[in-house]
Amino acid sequence: MALSNQTKAVLLGPLNKNNPVIVQVLGICSALAVTSKLEPSLVMAVAVTLVTAFGNVIISLLRKTIPTRIRIIVQLVVVAALVTIVSEVLKAFAYDVNKQLSVFVGLIVTNCILMGRLEAFALGNGPWPSFLDGIGNGLGYGWILVVVGFFRELLGSGELLGYKVIPQFMYDAGYENNGLMMLAPMALILVAVIIWVHRARNKDLQEETN
Amino acid sequence: MKALKNYLDKIKPNFEEGGKLHWLYSTYDAFETFLFVPNTTSRTGVHIHDARDSKRTMIIVILALVPALLVGMYNVGLQHYMAIGQEMSLLNTFLYGLIAMLPLIVVSYVVGLGIEFAMAQVKKEEVAEGFLVSGMLIPMIVPIDTPLWMVAVATAFSVIFAKEVFGGTGYNIFNVALIARAFLFFSYPTKMSGDQVWVRTADTFGMGKGTVIDGYSGATPLGQIATTDAGSFSEFTFHGITGNPLSISDMFFGFIPGSVGEVSTFAILLGALILIATGVGSWKTMLSVFVGGAVGVLLVNSFAQNAMMDMPFYYHFLLGGFAFGAVFMATDPVTSARTEKGKWIFGFLIGLVAVAIRVFNPGYPEGMMLAILLINAFAPLIDFYVIDANIKRRAKRATASLKG
């Protein structure tokens, strides 16, 4: 299936120049909280992608019947229902990860990316573009989480997905895991580095200096 | 000197516009102005030229650090030979400290200056001299046994993230040397605190071989009092690494375990005199840190629950990095308050917060680092309100005189 230019922009824009985390600076809170290991980062990325995509579809289908004055409440109900489903599935099939993510699964409801997409896109577009938009934004959020989670787990615990990757002889030679990587400030610094690299490669995103 | 100047002039064309090595111009310029006072004058605008440019200021601070550095290095040797139970001559003791300390200094300067030069080269700017002092401060505030690669990582981190991303020398919000220490402290806590890191017990390049004596304990005095069971200060005695009791003069002259810079309050005060006499460091900031600390301790003393809370204020000044932080860190002209009234408030808050962290948080027996970093963040706010109050006062005076 060939994608038209417009659908491509909707799907792929959020991965790069319209990224919710590193360009719009949304969803930072959960990006700091769940990324100390790679596995919860991956799960969180998938969860947010699913909730955003299906939330977008449902709101898009309902968009002509929702009275404008109560639309936020309707959006919250839809998102809360989806988040509850995700949370229950995680509890049933991935209990350990669910425990690591703790309140942050429930807090997907308040993720700015979600409400932002529902308000800005789903209320004005059909179900199919809305679905793509949700997938795109979820993945745009997700890849940042995965990159941050990758470096934090690698440098902070010397592991990836729970497997030792830094060989023992490095530790014998005096190498040590970096404890700061396990603390939230380092996640912020890593996100900042990603933003730094991204802006350096995309000159049109740089703010005018005055 | 003449020959050096001639040589610099001879190779200069290579670095100028169109020269083969033009891309290294910043590096050349840095060395030329480091060695000789520039003979160019500004062509536009009104400028006041003074011999006290930032390179000279930095040199004065380095000079002021020298007493603390020398005593600190002697103490490294002293603690080492005490730990292995050997008597050594003064020269040998100092020499051990010197060769233990030199690698730290070299690593800190090479990494830090390397990044500074590279950054200046990329941005096509002059190399800023800010790292001259930071590079000396970093090895002086970390334990002598800190692995060199950790010093390198921490220096690189702090130069890039505490300084260059804010715009380089003169624009940083936080003290660069303290950020390096904070990075080490939170990244590698086992190498930065506890009782194993402050005294080097192993030999250095084959010098000072020996086995550690029985009953050795490397805890710093501040660490000892933070972890003691004694209910009040009078029931508690400080002891050295061999179990010998420590006198106040040991603490004042610096014969206690600790990082190189912080141990000798006497040498730090000598440095303070140099800074104050040359006008490089602000006596207001220094004094108010001590006043803030004393007020905090007196307050805490009045409802003391344990030995740490009961400790008199002059012990707080002698132990740990209190004096070093007050004299060399709090007075950093970039990260401290600029207004004269602001300096009093800035210093006072540092002293107060440092004591609060020391006394109420057993996890961090040394509160000076976190206190200075915290109050660094408030320096612009303090300045803002001092200036604001001044404007309001003058506006009031002006309206009053118009009416009258």
Q: Who wins on pLDDT, B24 or B312? A: B312
Stretch B358-386: mean pLDDT, rounded? Answer: 89
Give per-residue pLDDT as tens, B96-105.
889 999 999 9
Cβ of B187 within 8 Å of Cβ of A178? The answer is yes
Q: What is the pLDDT of residue B177?
A: 92
* Structural domains counted in chain A: 1
CA distance A115 to A128: 18
Please name the residues in contact with B245: beta carbons below 8 A apart, sequence gap of 6 or more: B237, B238, B239
Chain B positions in Cβ-Cβ contact with residue A175 (cut-off 8 Å): 149
How confident is residue B175, by pLDDT bands cut at 50, 70 and 90? Answer: very high
Summarize pLDDT for A158-207 with one digit per residue, the tens.
Answer: 888 878 888 888 888 878 888 888 888 888 999 999 988 888 888 887 77
More confident residue, B185 or B14: B185
Count of alpha carbons within 13 angstroms of residue B46, beta-carbon side: 0
Burial class (CB in 10 A: 0-12, 13-18, 19+), A174: exposed
- State the Cα angle at A17 between A11 and A18, rounded to 5°: 60
Distance from CA of B185 to the nearest CA of A (A): 9
Q: What is the pLDDT of residues B17-66, one digit of tens each?
A: 767 777 777 777 777 777 776 666 667 777 766 666 777 788 889 999 99
List the single residue in B147, B165, B186 with the smallest CB-CB distance to A174.
B147
> Which residues from chain B sit within 8 angstroms of residue A189, using beta carbons?
161
User: Do the domain assignments include residue A66?
Assistant: yes
Q: In this structure, is residue A138 part of a structural domain?
A: yes
- Measured between beta carbons, the chain B residues lying within 8 angstroms of A196 are 165
Instruction: Report the pLDDT value the prediction gives residue B295, as an integer from 0 to 100.
Output: 94
Quote the CA–CA distance of B367 and B370 in Å, as a whole number: 6
- Best of B145, B179, B187, B370 to disrupt the A interface (most A CBs within 10 Å) is B187
Q: Are A48 and A111 spatial neighbours (Cβ–Cβ below 8 Å)?
A: yes
pLDDT given for residue B52 in this prediction: 66
**Sequential DSSP letters for B155-170:** HHHIIIIIIGGGTSTT
Q: Is residue A209 part of a domain?
A: no
Kindly report which listed range (A89-98, B71-80, B223-232, B316-325) carries the lowest average pLDDT score: B223-232
Q: Check CB contact of B361 with chain A, cutoff 8 Å.
A: no
Q: What is the mean predicted confidence (pLDDT) over B309-322?
A: 88
Beta bridge partners of B245: B239
Is there a contact between A179 and B189 if contact means CB atoms under 8 Å apart? yes
A8 token code pair: 């491509």
- pLDDT number for residue B65: 93
Residue of A nearest to B191 (CA): A176
pLDDT at site B178:
93
Decide if A189 and B190 are in contact by the 8 Å CB cutoff. no
The answer to whether residue B165 neighbours chain A at the CB level (below 8 Å) is: yes
Q: Among candidates A102, A116, A109, A126, which has minimal Cα distance to A7?
A: A126
Instruction: Give A49-68 pLDDT, tens digit per residue.
Output: 999 999 999 999 988 888 88
Residue A148: inside a domain, yes or no? yes
For residue A164, what is the enclosing H or E element? strand A163-164
Say what the pLDDT of residue B74 is.
Answer: 92
Picking from B149, B187, B191, the nearest residue to A180 by CB comes out as B187
Calculate the average pLDDT of chain A. 85
CA-nearest residue to B147 within chain A is A174
Residues 6+ apart with CB under 8 A from B89: none
Specify the pLDDT at position B229.
Answer: 77
Residue A197 distance to chain B (closest CA, Å): 13
What's the mean pLDDT in B157-178? 89
Tell me the per-residue pLDDT of B104-150, one tens digit each, with 9 for 90 and over: 999 999 999 999 888 888 877 777 777 888 999 999 999 988 889 99
| Chain B residues 179-218 with CB within 8 Å of chain A | 183, 186-191
Percentage of chain B beyond pLDDT 70 is 96
C-alpha closest to that of A142 among A54, A36, A20, A55? A20
* Pair of tokens at residue B139: 């090895």
Nearest CA in chain B to A190: B161
B chain contacts of residue A183, beta-carbon cutoff 8 Å: 186
Which structural domain, as residue segments, surrounds residue A56?
A: 21-204
Beta-carbon count within 10 A of B253 CB: 17
Q: What is the DSSP letter of A173?
A: T
Percent of chain B at pLDDT exceeding 90 = 37
> CA B210, CA B60: separation in Å to the nearest integer?
39
For chain B positions 291-350, those within 8 Å of chain A (CB to CB) are none
In a domain, A6, yes or no: no
What the block records as the tokens of B58 is 């930095």
Interface residues on A facing B, Cβ-Cβ cutoff 8 A: 174-176, 178-181, 183, 189, 192, 196
Residue A82 lies in a domain: yes
CB contact (8 A) between residue A174 and residue B165: no
Task: Evaluate whether residue A16 is within a structural domain.
Answer: no
Backbone φ/ψ region at B92: left (φ over 0), alpha (ψ -120 to 50), beta: alpha
Which of chain A's residues have a Cβ under 8 Å away from the Cβ of B165? 192, 196
SS3 B209: coil
Q: Note the helical H segments in B234-339.
A: 248-253, 265-278, 283-301, 307-310, 313-318, 322-324
Residue with tokens 């997938």: A135
Q: Is the pLDDT of residue B155 over 80?
A: yes
Q: What is the identity of the amino acid at B91?
A: L
Q: In this predicted structure, what is the pLDDT of residue B105?
A: 93
pLDDT band at B170; cut points 50, 70, 90: confident
How far apart (Å, rounded) are the C-alpha atoms in residues B140 and A121?
56
Q: Given a cut of 80, is residue B344 above it in pLDDT?
A: yes
Residues of chain B in contact with residue A179, where contact means CB-CB under 8 angstroms, are 186-189
The answer as to whether A79 is a domain residue is yes
Q: Which of A180, A190, A193, A209 is the best substitution to test chain B (most B C-beta atoms within 10 A)?
A: A180
Ramachandran assignment for B26, one of left (phi > 0), alpha (psi -120 to 50 degrees), beta (any other): alpha
Residues 6+ apart with CB under 8 A from B88: B77, B81, B96, B208
**Residue B33 · residue B54 · CB < 8 Å:** no
Across B163-170, average pLDDT: 84
Closest-approach residue (CA) in chain B for A189: B161
121-140 of B, contacting A, C-beta below 8 A? none
pLDDT 10s digits, A14-59: 887 888 888 888 888 888 888 888 888 888 899 889 999 999 999 9
pLDDT in tens, A119-150: 888 888 888 889 988 999 999 999 999 999 99
AA identity, residue A205: L
Residue B242: pLDDT band (50, 70, 90) is confident
Q: Which among A176, A183, A192 has the least Cβ separation from residue B186?
A: A183
